[in-house]
């Protein structure tokens, strides 16, 4: 049976760079970089999902701002809608790599948090970067609402 679900992601900007999380296991021998976020739980608002997932993955308490992007993902038996929001953290708060409660300590998918400028994102192989960030030429591009369908 096909799996259908929704995900909430947060885009945190600091000093011209966006905070991304490296995930292992999605590409052979290479990290996959995407904004912090994850699965939307039944009965939870999408904004609460973004704040919860951001806290789990980065340790940061964020306020969720405006909706920015909708990305439709479809691969094999998985079909998902990914909703991206602007997020704000307390000034001076530093992210720390968190853990995904759905995975045991030895099976964590998150391996690293890192700030990336648009120039750095363009230097990575496209398959290693979430599709909404693959053609970002300036930090302003991240905050222009758009919809990408698979």
pTM equals 0.88
Residue 106, token pair as written in the block: 């030895």
CA dist 137 and 2 (Å) reads 35
Domains within the chain, CATH numbers bracketed: 3-148 (3.90.79.10)
End-to-end C-alpha distance for the chain, whole angstroms: 20
Beta bridge partners of 32: 23
pLDDT at position 148 is 56
What does DSSP assign to residue 40? P
Its sign, for the CA torsion 115, 144, 36, 131, is negative
pLDDT bin (cut points 50, 70, 90) of residue 146 is low
- The least confident of 110-114, 126-130, 139-143 is 139-143
Greatest CA span in the chain, whole angstroms?
46
- Give the Cβ contact number of residue 73 at 10 Å: 16
For residues 43 and 52, the answer to whether their CB atoms sit within 8 Å is no
pLDDT in tens, 42-58: 899 999 999 999 999 99
pLDDT at 22 over 90: yes
pLDDT at 111 over 70: yes
User: What are the backbone angles phi and psi of residue 127, rounded to the nearest 5°?
Assistant: -65, -20
């Amino acid at each position: 049976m096909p799996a259908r679900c929704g995900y909430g992601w947060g885009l945190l900007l600091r000093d011209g760079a966006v905070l991304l999380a490296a995930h292992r296991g999605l590409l052979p021998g290479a990290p996959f970089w995407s904004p912090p976020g994850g699965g939307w739980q039944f009965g939870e608002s999408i904004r609460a999902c973004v704040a919860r997932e951001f806290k789990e993955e980065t340790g940061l308490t964020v306020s969720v701002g405006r909706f920015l992007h909708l990305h439709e993902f479809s691969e094999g038996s998985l079909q998902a809608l990914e909703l991206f929001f602007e997020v704000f953290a307390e000034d001076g708060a530093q992210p720390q790599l968190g853990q995904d409660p759905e995975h045991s300590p030895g099976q964590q998918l998150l391996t690293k948090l890192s700030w990336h400028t648009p120039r750095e994102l363009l230097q990575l192989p496209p398959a290693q970067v979430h599709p909404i960030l693959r053609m970002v030429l300036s930090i302003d591009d991240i905050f222009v609402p758009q919809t990408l369908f698979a």
